[in-house]
Amino acid sequence: MNGTGLYDNLEKYQLPTPESVFTLDYFKEKPQPFCDLAKELLPGKYVPTLTHCFIRLLEEKGLLLRLFTQNIDGLERVCGISPELLVEAHGSFANAHCVECRQQHDVLRWRDCIERNELPRCPATRMLPEPPPKPTEAEMEEVKKELETLPALRAEAWKTTDFTELTNIGLKEANLKSKLADMEKWAAEADAKHEEWEKGPKTFQCGGLIKPDIVFFGEGLPARFTYLAERDGRSCDLLLVLGTSLKVMPFAGLLGKVPALCPRLLINREAVGLHNQEDPPLFFGNIGFRFDEAENYRDVHIADDCDAGILG
């Protein structure tokens, strides 16, 4: 990004890293930076490019098997590409949900909130679960007896210098002691907590943060991506790779889903996704592009912007 880039607007928040704004844990702790950035990414601020229109034309001609996109701006939808042919691997601003209870919410309400500089909170009513039962004396005694067996097991392990077994015994002892401490603590508190629950309200307002259905770092990609990547890859007769750094897995792994004889065309300023590249990700191996290799028989690189490359 240059001096007028989106991330420069977030300098006042002193983010640990620029990517922190798209990290779920950071969002839950400090949601305002993402909400500020989201204002600049909202659908309606940008229009589809010539490349978007080209992909739409492929669909109209019956040539588009599937469009897998990392974009979250929704311009593929604006361009009119059919939703059933579109896989938004990193999500989009088309829907929103609560990060606590997962309830879906009207994305327009979420948008109104952030445009008013308000944090969008979930108004859903949730049930207050009954506290877990009080542990019995017999249950705690069982844990104590299991702890009492460990010294003899440890002594036997020392005789044979079985360090793997000694490590396992140590871990088991730590887990049992922690479990017993938790049981004893809850046994002392359980009666009061149950009484408090019986007398108090059984529901509460969620109040969780609402975020659009875009994939943050650490979140899994939609199941639809995994399923269709495998199924469509086997049927692909031409793979077009347009304007991507191919640095994010598993999206970049789509290169290896197509048949070995399937031609692959990259339109991008730089050659990326090379089989022998030294920069991350280093997972390409045999699936990577071989543009300048003597054994190349299917990979072509047009070193240009997407729109210019489409025009040829």
pLDDT tens column, 97-131: 999 999 999 999 999 999 999 999 999 999 999 99
Annotated binding site: which residue ranges? 98, 101, 122, 206
Q: Residue 193: inside a domain, yes or no?
A: yes
Separation of alpha carbons 154 and 146, rounded Å? 13
Q: Residue 101: inside a domain, yes or no?
A: no
Respond yes or no: is residue 194 known to be catalytic.
no
Q: Residue 178: inside a domain, yes or no?
A: yes
Strand partners, 264: 239, 299
Split into its structural domains, the chain has a count of: 1
- The predicted pLDDT at position 149 comes to 95
Residues of the chain with pLDDT under 70: 1-11, 278-285
Global pTM exceeds 0.85: no
Annotated binding site for Zn(2+): which residue ranges? 98, 101, 122, 206
- From the candidates 90, 97, 105, 301, give the one annotated as an active-site residue: 90
- The predicted pLDDT at position 130 comes to 94
Reference 7, options 35, 29, 37; nearest CA is 37
Tell me which residue range forms the domain holding 167.
137-200
- The predicted pLDDT at position 42 comes to 77
Rounded alpha-carbon distances, angstroms, from residue 155 to 107, 150, 222: 63, 9, 51
Range 197-201 contact pairs with CB under 8 angstroms and sequence separation of 24 or more: 197/128, 197/130, 197/131, 200/128, 201/128
Q: Encode pLDDT of 220-265 as tens digits.
A: 888 899 999 999 999 999 999 999 888 888 888 999 999 999 999 9
Q: Residue 165: inside a domain, yes or no?
A: yes
Q: Residue 70: inside a domain, yes or no?
A: no
Q: Residue 152: inside a domain, yes or no?
A: yes
Which residue is it, tokens 């140590």?
Answer: 170
* For the chain, the helix, strand and coil percentages under 3-state DSSP, each to the nearest 5: 45, 15, 40
Q: Residue 189: inside a domain, yes or no?
A: yes
SS3 126: strand
- The predicted pLDDT at position 183 comes to 96
Q: Residue 148: inside a domain, yes or no?
A: yes
